[in-house]
Structure 1
Amino acid sequence: MKLAAELRNKGFGREAKLSDLSFLKSCRSAPHPGAFLDSRFLQPLSISQAHLARALGISRRRVNELVVGKRSITPSTAIKLARFFNTDPEFWLTLQMHWDLYQELEKEKRQSLPAQ
């Protein structure tokens, strides 16, 4: 409960909705959801990757791979993150979807460039 109160005091909580991700439309590149997790949740709240892993019941390696961009947010992970940070699972899955779409569009751009 203490963490939930701290999250609300720092502007996190149920008010974090899909509309909060509207900034992604104006970004040149979508942030990886793990980088977003690290910069917007872990660092501001001084939560270590090890602490998050224990709280979610997953391995530290899994959390680290997510944070460094080597792993995607699955529906299962989205539910765990939502429960821990008092957000919606859709919030995390939307971050992942934006990242995946951005990566695919970039791949298409690279493939459509004329050979030099």
Structure 2
Amino acid sequence: MAIRLTPTALDRARRFLAASPASVGLRFGVRKTGCSGWGYEIDVANIKHPDDTVFEQDGIAVLVNPQSLPLVDGTQIDFVRKGLNQEFVFDNPNAAAACGCGESFTTVDKPLPG
């Protein structure tokens, strides 16, 4: 599978990365949080770790650590604006449910390795 960015997310990523000339791409993963278990993290990556999986799309690299990969593989990342708010949103085929506030998600039969 892969991590995919919509055209809107690609455009936003290009602007983020242009503001950080030392960056090597976007880092995407999860952390334990919220009422459902896992929360998404996305940020500018300044280094590539040897065990990162890298997904390239139209010149943008998305780096995922091995612990997060089973939980996010196949995710499509979009960037949406609603009124004054703007955010990355995630369409993750591994997510079985999300909490009511949308801050975290849970999976079925995909425990975090290690």
TM-score by length of 1: 0.24
Greater C-alpha radius of gyration: 1
- Which has the higher relative contact order, 1 or 2, with Cα contacts under 8 A spaced 6 or more apart? 1
TM-score by length of 2: 0.24
